[in-house]
Amino acid sequence: MPAVFVHGNPETAAVWDPLLAELKAAGTAPADLICLSPPGFGAPLPPGFGATVGEYRDWLIEELTRFAEPVDLVGHDWGGGHVLNAVMSRPELVRSWASDTIAVFEPDYVWHELAQRWQTPGIGEADVAARFGAPVEQRIATLVERGMGEAAAEWVAQGQNEAMGRAVIALYTSAMPPVMAELGRNLDNAARRPGLVFLATEDHVAGTAELRRRAARRAGARVEVLDGLGHWWMTHDPGRGAEALTRFWASLDQG
Considering only CA atoms, which of 234, 216, 238 is closest in space to residue 101? 216
Q: What is the per-residue pLDDT for 54? A: 99
Place 253 in a pLDDT band, splitting at 50, 70 and 90: confident
How far apart CA 199 and CA 207 sit, in angstroms, is 10
Asked whether 190 and 84 are in contact (CB, 8 A), the reply is: yes
- Residue 124's contacts (CB-CB under 8 Å, 6 or more residues apart) are 117, 118, 168, 169, 172, 173
Gap between the terminal Cα atoms of the chain: 15
Encode 191-214: b = buried (16+ Cβ within 10 Å), e = exposed.
Answer: bebbbbbbbbeebebbbeeebbbb
Place 42 in a pLDDT band, splitting at 50, 70 and 90: very high
Asked whether 39 and 166 are in contact (CB, 8 A), the reply is: no
Backbone φ and ψ for 103, nearest 5 degrees, come out as -65, -20
How far apart CA 215 and CA 120 sit, in angstroms, is 27
SS3 content of the chain, % helix, strand, coil (to 5): 55, 15, 30
Q: What is the per-residue pLDDT for 255? A: 61
pTM of the model: 0.98
User: 234 pLDDT exceeds 80?
Assistant: yes
Backbone φ and ψ for 62, nearest 5 degrees, come out as -60, -40
Mean pLDDT, all residues of the chain: 98
Q: Which residues pair with 39 in a beta bridge?
A: 43
How far apart CA 55 and CA 171 sit, in angstroms, is 9
Place 254 in a pLDDT band, splitting at 50, 70 and 90: confident
pLDDT single digits (tens) 62-107: 999 999 999 999 999 999 999 999 999 999 999 999 999 999 999 9
Stretch 14-42: mean pLDDT, rounded?
Answer: 98
Percent of the chain with pLDDT over 70: 100
Peptide bond into 46 cis (omega under 30): no
pLDDT single digits (tens) 151-194: 999 999 999 999 999 999 999 999 999 999 999 999 999 999 99
Domains (ranges, CATH) in the chain? 3-110+180-254 (3.40.50.1820)
Q: Which residues pair with 34 in a beta bridge?
A: 4
